[in-house]
Structure 1
Amino acid sequence: MSLKRHPGLNRQMLVSLRSGNAVRGVLTKTPGRLLILQGCTVHEPGAEPAAADGEIVIDQANVDFIQLL
């Protein structure tokens, strides 16, 4: 069994979603197909970025692309 570490683990990243929104935060866990980010800012088109409390959980099926910062 091969366990691979996500290259963005414990790094700041910008996750662009298929919905057109984006989430910027630190990737802290990757259980299965999920990405768990902390210290997040949510970016929505036409709106000011908003800080998010707690963790944000994103299913990789909803991800358009990821940028490591």
Structure 2
Amino acid sequence: MWGWFPWRRTALRKRVIVNLEDKAFAGVLWAKRGPLLVLKDVTLMQHGAADTPMDGEVLVERSKVDFIQVTGG
């Protein structure tokens, strides 16, 4: 199920920062659905701009992810 994610269960349902090339999403890593990561309670973070709370779930393509930081419980 999480073959590419060597620490798979460590991050599931925890607060993470998903870093992309030009932005990052801070939220709860809720699930992996095929090529997508599902995040809840998300804030968009962009360099030089104020953090923006996001409504609903945010879907991120795994192939676009540079790295993921686990930030807490």
- Output one character per residue of 1:4-53: Cα deviation in whole Å (capped at 9) or x when no partner: 482311000000002x2000000111012210000000001110101000
* Cα distance in 2, alignment partners of residues 55 and 31 from structure 1: 13
Gaps of 5+ in 1: none
User: What is the total number of aligned residue pairs between the two structures?
Assistant: 66
CA RMSD after TM alignment: 1.4
Matches within 5 A, 1:1-20: 3-4=1-2, 6=8, 7-18=10-21, 20=22
24-33 or 5-14, which moves further after superposition? 5-14
If each structure's helix is expressed as a fraction of its own residues, which one has the higher value?
Answer: 2
TM-score under structure 2 normalisation?
0.83
Runs of 5+ unmatched residues, structure 2? none
